[in-house]
Structure formats: C-alpha cells, structure tokens
Amino acid sequence: MKIRVVNPNTTSSMTASIERCARAVAAPGTVVEAVTNTMGPASIESHYDDALAVPGLLAEIVRGEAEGADGYVIACFGDPGLYAARELARGPVLGIAEAAMHTAGFLGRGFSVVTTLGRTAGHAMDLAERYGMRHSCLGVHGTDIPVLELDDPKVRGVIAEACRSAVAADGSDAIVLGCAGMADLCDYLTTEVGVPVVDGVGAATVMVQGLLTLGLRKSGRGEFAAPPPKQYTGLLAGFTR
C-alpha cells in the first residue's frame, strides 16, 4: 500500500522530519511518501494561514490520486482542508489532530494538548468538540514557541516542562502533541514526562494503514462524495473540475 503524507506548509525541512516519523511506524511493504505543499504559508499558526494552505494541499491530494496513493495523512494539527480532501480521495484521509485525540482516548480517562502558540488553543478545543473528544480533552497548553523554531534543540526542555505542567494542572493521563513539528520529540517526552505522549503523525499513519489493511475505503455517498464539477476563476482557475 502507498500512503501519502501531506505537509500543508511549505517548509521542506519539516516535511523530512514528518516523513521519518511516519516511516518509523509503517509496516513492511507500506510505502510512505511525504510531500510538501508548493503553495501556501511557511508555517500554519492562524486561521489565515490555515485557509491559504488548503488550495495547495488539495492539489497534492489530486496529484496523489493520479499517482496511485491509497490513503493520506494531513500533517498539521489544525487538520486544514480535511473534509475537502475526503471528497477528493478514494481512500481514507486522516488529520493528525483527529488521529491523536482518538488514540489518546484509548490510553486513559483524559488527555492534555501541548502545542505551539497559545493563540491556537481555541481551535484545538474546537477540533476536540468536532471529533467527539471534548469530554476527554482536559486542557490545551501553548508553549509560545513558533513552529519554525521547533527544530532548535533548546526548546526540548521547554516543551517537556509544559507537558509536565499540563499533566499536573489537568490531571491528565496522556499528552497529545499539538504540532507535526513536534513529532520527533515523542519518545524523548514520554521518557521525561512519564505518561504516554501521542504524536499525531505516527497515529494517523498507523490508522490509515490499518483501515487499508481491513479493506476499508471512504464511502462514496453523501457529504464526502466527489464534489460536483464546476468552473473556478482567477487564481483558482486550475481547480476547475
């Protein structure tokens, strides 16, 4: 099977880290290919960034369909364009927030999200509500570390302390990492914090792989059927179907 992991931002170094984390959990015979959005923001830290990342993300889904991808992971914790991507794809499409929250729900009574900028906390709570996980999401904690600074080794300790504080403040049983750029910290943080730490990149990759192994594909009915063909104009003329 072939899983395409889409980084919705345009930073290729983050894509490389995401790909390593996804490949680390892939089963033998599963091909994982991570791709970088070619049209959008360098990082996604606002609703504005989120919206402008979606056209390029959807173009990668269309390209994946043409190139034989069986399933997809959207590797941004805001899960941008998730439902639109499901309309376009034949196979399963998972967002990393969706996958991480459900995974954490299997591990204890409640979890905390530790993320980047505090301004994104409300959106994370909205996603927990959308996915039916609001009762399990006990808190969202920003570190105020910009996404593009997550590869600085100095921030590891700051994130670990934020995770420990979240566990103490919320009484949570697990931590969900609220950014794809934190994926490679998962093992380190699990050791440092002492509770399960869930990386959505790995969780979503395993879930897509599992659905495909079960022979399950997206339903082609109703809301997630292919979008009706229509004309698009201006900068979006290339999206005409």
Q: Are 172 and 134 within one domain?
A: yes
Q: Which of 122, 124, 57, 88 is nearest to 229 (CA)?
A: 88
Residue 175: phi, psi to the nearest 5? -115, 135
Task: Please list the residues that pair with 137 across neighbouring strands.
Answer: 111
Sheet of strand 197-198: strand arrangement: 137-142, 111-115, 174-177, 197-198
Q: How far apart are CA 153 and CA 10, in angstroms?
A: 22
Q: How far apart are CA 41 and CA 192, in angstroms?
A: 32
Q: Are 102 and 157 within one domain?
A: yes
pLDDT along the chain (241 residues), means of 10: 98 98 97 98 98 98 98 98 98 98 98 98 98 98 97 95 98 98 96 97 98 94 93 94 84
Q: How far apart are CA 92 and CA 70, in angstroms?
A: 8
Q: Are 156 and 109 within one domain?
A: yes
The number of domains in the chain is: 2
CB count within 10 Å of CB 101 equals: 27
Q: Are 169 and 213 within one domain?
A: no
pLDDT of residue 192: 97
Entry pTM: 0.96
Q: Which string of DSSP letters, residue by residue, matches 183-225? A: GGGHHHHHHHHSS-EE-HHHHHHHHHHHHHHTT-----SGGGS
pLDDT of residue 38: 97
pLDDT of residue 241: 84
Q: Which of 13, 6, 59 is nearest to 151 (CA)?
A: 13
Q: How far apart are CA 99 and CA 97, in angstroms?
A: 5
pLDDT of residue 220: 85
Tokens matching residue 64 = 């994946």
Q: Are 76 and 26 within one domain?
A: yes
Domain that holds residue 209: 2-95+202-239
Q: Are 196 and 101 within one domain?
A: yes
User: How distant, in Å, are the alpha carbons of 84, 121, 180, 184, 241 from that of 148?
Assistant: 26, 18, 11, 14, 35
Q: Are 22 and 45 within one domain?
A: yes
Q: Are 136 and 74 within one domain?
A: no
CB count within 10 Å of CB 226 equals: 11
Q: Are 190 and 103 within one domain?
A: yes
Beta strands in 84-196 (DSSP E): 93-95, 111-115, 137-142, 174-177
Q: Are 68 and 111 within one domain?
A: no
Q: Are 83 and 121 within one domain?
A: no
> CATH number, domain at 125?
3.40.50.12500
Task: Report CA torsion sign: 61, 79, 107, 130.
Answer: negative
Q: How far apart are CA 199 and CA 184, in angstroms?
A: 8
Q: 19: number of CA atoms within 13 Å, CB side?
A: 14
Q: Which of 131, 118, 129 is nearest to 178 (CA)?
A: 118
Q: Are 148 and 117 within one domain?
A: yes
